[in-house]
Structure 1
Amino acid sequence: MKFPWRLSVGAACWLAEDAWIDNLAPVTLGDRVCLSQGAFICTGNHDYRSPGFDLLLGPISVGDDAWIAARAVLAPGTSIGAGAVVALGAVVSGKVPAGVVVRGNPAQVVGQR
């Protein structure tokens, strides 16, 4: 974690070994969130089209009772709905609805929790 003041962690969360929260922008974890081993929460990226390689930021939120599995990646601006599951090694950008399971790169909905 880079900036602790930009991190909000709800009650009874579990943050595993080697999880990395790159919180250049705000990161919000709801209650009972599980962030598994090696998960990468990334709020910053660069505009490769810009001559100045400008920094682009986007907050990330993870809803109550969601599980971010081992080695999953959340891109800047991602929102994970309550009770959703991001499977092992999935790469997520954008919005994941509540209660769904996503997997793959890019992550796709594969079922309900």
Structure 2
Amino acid sequence: MSKKPYVSNAELNRRLQQQKAHLLNNRLQQAQPLQYVTATIGTIENQAGVLVHNWRSGWKWISNWAFILIGYISVYGVPNEVLMFVPEASQAKVTAVLALTGLVFRFINQTKNKALPPVAEGA
């Protein structure tokens, strides 16, 4: 069993101030020149890979929710509570409507554009 050496609060504060000063000096020495941002409309990004570039936000896409519902219905069927609200003539077409909804929403851009950084005065 090893014991940790005791370090006083004053020593810890001294080390903290020393590290802060070191970081501040490094930050001032490594100042970056201004970088300008240009925006273009309609550019095509060439991305290699199997997945789309924003696959992590896929849970928000309406089309994916429609396909999840189709999968649920194919495994468990449509709940009776839901079938009560659908006319009898249309009950067999619930899955087809969900598939069509998913297909349509796959072609709609469902991601939000990122805001450009603020422009400095006099630029």
- TM-score grouping bracket, smaller chain normalisation: under 0.3
The structure with the larger Rg is 2
Which one scores higher on RCO, CA 8 angstroms, separation ≥ 6? 2
Q: TM-score, normalized by length of structure 2?
A: 0.21
Q: TM-score, normalized by length of structure 1?
A: 0.22
